[in-house]
Chains A and B, each alone.
Chain A
């Protein structure tokens, strides 16, 4: 028996005045999952969210929720909770009235509705006795009210549009943990739109990376980190993200680097072993935490230390190698001898991408 996914998006596309915002998106979400739609602004993630909420109708394609086609269902019949970036609290209503709004729309009786309001406010950690107006609350509190309002209706799906980007850096870390904990407690299937990869990695079960209206990769955070499908993802995920070294296959054993220097790496990293024809241009992703520094030795890349940042638990070393700059993360206390230094990539499974298409080259093994 094949299980049908809880939410399924099938070849959904949308254009605005001739500009394609979404190209045939396919995406399945399991019940109870926390999915992040991740991408830079203008990648189409917000358009997709609005289609899920019913605020936009796709040009083509189908959205199914719990087995039913909801593509053309108006938003007020969907029972999908929506939290906006600016919270969109009703300014003329009190906080309790805001949270109660959806329950009133269901025609729920006063006693039951009041109990649900208490429950939703407690769920987000707000005092149920709060009798103030939305504009008298801090940004963080307003966001809690917006979340309480959305979960009070016990939605089939919770949509979060950049929930953290209006908060300051300290609060952001705290709230993203709370979002994850709230999801663990309620089990509501959640889709969060964000442009912040750290936010997506920290909260989501699966991340859908989008760029220019296309879905590039849909995977669990670790998988995405370990096996990025394109150079764009490799250069986007992680803090700091992978170094992307432009290389051209000089012959079967060595690469030429920008500026013309030759690099003969360990055999596992050679063009021949990775099936790269002589003369082909690639980009090699080197994760900052997998690079080692040391004295001259075979397989190394010659470089020069430009700067060292101390971040508490570790050092972030910026190395100039030829005409590119690579960052290296080392545990605090590692002795760093400079300024001339050699860089050593790990000796297996390089991440190589086609320089033109950005696509990952298949690993030989």
Chain B
């Protein structure tokens, strides 16, 4: 009896928490279909006009493009660097490995504003403010710790004896990497790629300070319009599209992943 009651109670708690977390997303998606000129919930009548407006809006289109470009390039660089660093730290076990690991993760502990202001003055010195390479470099640095964290955990979980066994079966280091280490690290690589891209795509603080007028990313654009014009239904439509796109990506990824494990 007692366990029944506590089971029911914990179910209620879990559902409440889930509702609390997911409610804003539901509101966002419903509101996106509202036909009115201002943000309201629940919607009065449904239309697709804001989706149309979003897709035709040149500023949003260019901002989305910039965010995607920036996210892809900086993610590729960050995940590559993070994987190499993590592999070296875990397998090479260098003398000051722990110190290096802490250093690699240190940017996580610093408030981004503080860090961005420091970067701004360095960039001013180097003349890199407002340039794409400068922006990419900044995004690589904010995404790298996240990717490194995941990759360090990933490589720590791969039993070095698997690599030793492969070597004893005639596999030179390149074949061990290709046939054993990389396939086993794939889930970690995928999740660090996803996290790094999201961190880059989400960033407002660093980008606002570094980017200047030339490279306005989607969240920066949204944020500035919010400040000047209040909630714009176009951003809501874009937000809804991003949410749907992410859900599709997760579902497909999960399917593929399950599938790859079954093969």
Known: A92-B183, A92-B184. A101 touches B162 (CB 8 A): no
A149 touches B161 (CB 8 A): no
Q: A88-B161, A88-B162, A92-B184 are in contact. Are A105 and B168 (CB under 8 A)?
A: no
Interface pair A55/B162, CB less than 8 Å apart: no
- A106 CB within 8 Å of chain B: yes
- Bound Cα distance from A149 to B161, whole angstroms: 14
B 147-171 to A, binary, CB cutoff 8 A, 1 in contact else 0: 0000000000001011011111111
Chain B residues with CB under 8 Å of A43's CB are none
Distance between B246 CB and nearest chain A CB, rounded to angstroms: 27
What 1/0 mask marks residues of chain B from 103 to 119 whose CB sits below 8 Å from any chain A CB?
00000000000000000
Query: Of B161, B164, B169, which is within 8 A of A102 by CB?
Result: B169
When chains A and B are docked, how far (Å) is the Cα of A154 from the Cα of B169?
Answer: 10
Q: A86-B159, A91-B184, A92-B183 are in contact. Are A53 and B170 (CB under 8 A)?
A: no
* Residues of chain A lying within 8 A (CB to CB) of residue B184: 91-92
Q: Is there contact, CB below 8 Å, between A153 and B170?
A: yes
Is the beta-carbon distance between A101 and B169 smaller than 8 angstroms? yes
> B172 at the A/B interface (Cβ < 8 Å)?
yes
**Interface hit among A76-84, A182-190, A308-316, A330-338:** A76-84
Contact status B165-A76, CB under 8 Å: no
Q: Would you call B159 and A75 a contact (CB within 8 A)?
A: no
Asked, given contacts A91-B184, A92-B184, whether A105 binds B164 with beta carbons under 8 Å apart, the answer is no
Task: Assess whether A105 is in contact with B165, with CB atoms less than 8 Å apart.
Answer: no
Nearest CB to that of B260 among chain A residues?
Answer: A92
For the side of the interface on A, what is the size category? 20 to 34
Instruction: Please indicate the chain A residues that have their CB under 8 angstroms from the CB of B27 in the complex.
Output: none
Min CB distance A208 to B, Å, is 21
Q: Please, which residues of chain B bring their CB within 8 A of the CB of A102?
A: 169-170
Contacts of B166 in A (CB 8 A): 90, 101
Tell me the bound Cα distance from A54 to B162 in angstroms. 15
Q: Which B145-203 residues have C-beta < 8 A from chain A? A: 159, 161-162, 164-172, 175, 179-180, 183-184
Complex: A106 Cα to B171 Cα, angstroms: 9
Interface residue? A339 (CB, 8 A): no
A153 to B167, CA, bound (A): 12
B170 and A84 contacting across the interface, CB-CB below 8 Å: no
When A90-B180, A92-B184 are in contact, do A79 and B161 touch as well, CB less than 8 Å? no
Contacting pair B168 A80 (CB below 8 A): yes
Given A76-B172, A88-B159, A88-B162, does the pair A55, B167 have CB atoms closer than 8 Å?
yes
Contact B161 A84 (CB under 8 A): yes
Known: A84-B161, A88-B162, A90-B162. A78 touches B171 (CB 8 A): no
Residues of B with C-beta under 8 A to A153? 169-170
**At the interface, is chain B mostly helix, strand, loop or mixed?**
helix
| Nearest B residue (CB) for A133 | B261
**A79 touching B162 in the complex, CB below 8 Å, given contacts A91-B184, A92-B184:** no
Judge whether A74 is part of the interface by a CB distance below 8 angstroms. Answer: yes
CB distance from A148 to the nearest CB of B (A): 12
Q: Which residues of B contact A55 (CB under 8 A)?
A: 164, 167-168
Given the contacts A90-B180, A92-B183, A76 and B171 also touching, CB distance less than 8 Å: yes
Q: Which of A81, A88, A105, A149 is close to B171, meaning CB atoms less than 8 Å apart?
A: A105
User: B253 CB to closest chain A CB, in angstroms?
Assistant: 17
In the complex the two chains form, what is the Cα distance from A92 to B164 in whole Å?
A: 16
Interface-centre pick from A74, A86, A92 (highest chain B CB count, 10 A): A92
Closest residue of A by beta carbon distance from B180: A90
Contacts of B172 in A (CB 8 A): 74, 76
Docked CA distance A77–B171 (Å):
9
A134 smallest CB distance to B (angstroms): 11
Once bound together, how far apart are the Cα atoms of A149 and B169, in whole Å?
8
Cα of A134 to Cα of B250 in the assembled complex, Å: 28
The 7 closest A-B pairs by CB, nearest first: A102-B169, A105-B170, A82-B168, A88-B161, A75-B167, A88-B165, A92-B183
* Residues of B in contact with A (beta carbons under 8 Å apart): 159, 161-162, 164-172, 175, 179-180, 183-184
